[in-house]
Structure 1
Amino acid sequence: MRRKQLWIVIAALILLNCLTLIFFLAKVKEISGTAISEEVVASVGKSEITRQQWLNELEVRYGKDVLKDMIDQRVIKEMAAKYNIKVSEKDVEREYRILQTTYSSPGENKKTTEKKWKEHIRNSLLQEEILTRDVKVSEKEMKEYFEENKALFTIPDAYHVSHIIVKSSDEAEKAIKELEQGSSFSALAMERSIEEFSANEGGDIGYLMEGEERFPSEYLQAVKKLKEGAWSDPIQVEQGFAIVKLEGKIKGKKYAYEDVKQQIRREIALEQMKNSTSATTFWEEAKVEWFYGKTSAN
């Protein structure tokens, strides 16, 4: 449960960063002397919406949350330095692998760099380490947790897949001929696929693993036999006929107790804690003052 919460928090942080980028880039342009505030970003009939009106609305709706996130990230770094707390690259890599295969959507994979994902993961793990630094957890408790939750520390093979769905076998065969002649799979998906959501992403449907229920089991059976970059013969599905392409593969891994010992310690410690488990716990210690009030995150 804690892992799932971590991934949701990371996704939210990335969204906030995107809003921050939009807001502050525009502000920089405004300060530089360009008449950016009067630039029209949309029009409805005879009425117009200026960039400044848009920015003001962004600040009203998201400004407090974005600023709080920025403060939290700075506080985490300050406290980590103060208490000499670090997280290992192995921990970051493990969380990133899990995040890649079980949470991130195709669109997020394209828009968010690996470096940015790992930065948010590292900050989240640092926060957990800081919050639990004084909590004692016995070796016995950690080993028992590991034995009872081994499935949590096993990542199965994951296949990055794209697909094209058309209504008839004739259309599917025609699409395959075009692919063989050098047509782009993603371009064909955008143009021909009747599955609108993935078509907008060039056919990208993210990662598939054993037990996947979002897509037909035939997808996984097909991609297991493919080389990276190759596509399948037509597969009959409920909507018509599908062609699947293997974009890439992440090999599964089973982690040993020593690999995940520190993660388990944090998990147990966080469950034991009754007080706040957010970075705002340290705002007063970090002497935070902000636009919405001194050392207050409410």
Structure 2
Amino acid sequence: MGKKQLWLVIAGLLMLNCLTVAYFLSRDTEASGGSETVATIGSQEITRQDWLHELETRYGKDVLKEMVDQKVVQELADKYHIKAADSEVDREYRLLQATNNSFNQKNFPSEKKWKEQIKNSLLLEEILTKDAIVSEKEIKNYYEKNKDLYNVPEAYRLSHIVVKTKQEAEKTLKELKQGSSFQALAMERSIDEFSANEGGNIGYITSEDELYPSSYITTAKKLKKGAYGGPIKTDQGYAIVKLEGKISGKTYSFKEVKNQIRRQIALEQMNTPASAEPLWEAAKVDWFYGNTKQEQ
């Protein structure tokens, strides 16, 4: 998946999160009549109804547009009998895991949600390029020139605890061996504030990752899932790393990525962004904000 497609997935997820929040808030509002006070400022108050009205004013159109886009893709995919193969969805998900070192932190969506977004993105690309003609030679040449794009590197999902001195690291190791929680100790004493708030979780990293010492990977390769090792000398001090999971490296063959390359070349030739908006008219969209042609 290219950078543009990745950003589309992330943007879709952000919209989906906004929608989820609005949905549950609206359910609560229906139950309470919307008069519940959510904040007081001296003698003034803000009700849940006021709050939801402001959310709708600021984000309502974007959230509704995201919902419409998803339904447009589903509608036209059914109309044209277009499907996204599970193997393609799995490949894109695997690549995202291996190349996004903040992936799988607790505030990230579940695997199911990620795959739903990836599937929607693939269906959209298929719809946009369904009539495009790309020669076998073009596809093969692209693959030969860009083989590295279809290599999923071996990746390790790690957590770490970073402390200032080796003595502190040895003390932390001792406490871990005595049964203390790695997550709790990371939140309590790790000086890496970003990961400390996540219980030490730093996501998936590879041997090519420049954010962390290569010794992290060297140590991780010796660990079983759930085990920890160290201390490791870092620029900040000393680290203890824990192996949370692993993705084996994989190289995808031409046959496996042929269709993906066809779509990519077609989109570039058409100079068409991977957006559902041009498809609204074909799907006969009529929405709250007016004429679709004017809105687009």
* Same fold, TM-score > 0.5, yes or no: yes
Q: Which residue matches 2:16? A: 17
Change beyond 3 A, Cα 1:24–1:104: farther
Structure 1 unmatched runs, 5+: none
Question: Which residue is 1:92 aligned to?
Answer: 89
| Superimposed CA distance per residue, residues 215-256 of structure 1 (whole angstroms, 9 cap, x where no aligned partner) | 112211211111111111211212111111111100010011
2:122 to 117, 121, 125: 125
- In the TM superposition, what whole-angstrom CA distance separates every residue of 1:69-121 from its partner, at most 9, and x where no partner exists? 00000000010011111111110000000111213624656541111111110
> In percent, how many aligned pairs have the same letter?
55
Offset, 1:50? 2.2
Match of 2:51 in 1: 54
TM-score (norm 2): 0.95
Other-structure match for 1:8: 7
Determine whether 1:272 maps to 2:258: no
Instruction: Work out whether residues 75 and 283 of structure 2, in 8 Å CA contact, stay in contact via their aligned partners in 1.
Output: yes
Q: Take 2:189 and 2:71, find their aligned partners in 1: how far apart are those partners?
A: 47
Q: Distance in 2 between matches of 1:40 and 1:129?
A: 47
C-alpha displacement of 1:14: 1.2
CA contact (8 A) 1:17 1:66 kept: yes
RMSD of the alignment, in Å?
1.6
Instruction: Choose the corresponding residue for 2:239, options 236, 239, 242.
Output: 242
1:291 maps to a residue whose letter is: F
- Whether the aligned pair in 2 keeps the contact of 1:226 and 1:246 (CA below 8 Å) is yes
The letter for the 2-side match of 1:43 is T
* Equivalent residue runs for 1:103-142 within 5 Å: 103=100, 105-106=102-103, 108=105, 111-142=108-139
Kindly indicate whether the alpha-carbon contact (under 8 Å) linking 2:150 and 2:251 is maintained by their aligned counterparts in 1: yes
| Paired AA for residue 223 in structure 2 | L
Aligned residue among 192, 208, 211 for 1:211: 208
The alignment of Structure 1 onto Structure 2 pairs a total of residues equal to: 295
Distance 1:101 1:136, change over 3 A: same
CA distance in 2, matches of 1:262, 1:212: 29
State the 4+ residue runs in structure 1 displaced beyond 6 angstroms.
none
- Note the alpha carbon deviations across 1:130-157, whole angstroms, 9 max, x for none: 0000000011111000000000011110
Distance 1:134 1:70, change over 3 A: same
Pick aligned residue for 1:160 from 147, 157, 168: 157
SS of 2:241's equivalent in the other structure is strand
TM (norm. structure 1) is 0.94
- What secondary structure is seen at the aligned counterpart in 2 of 1:10? helix
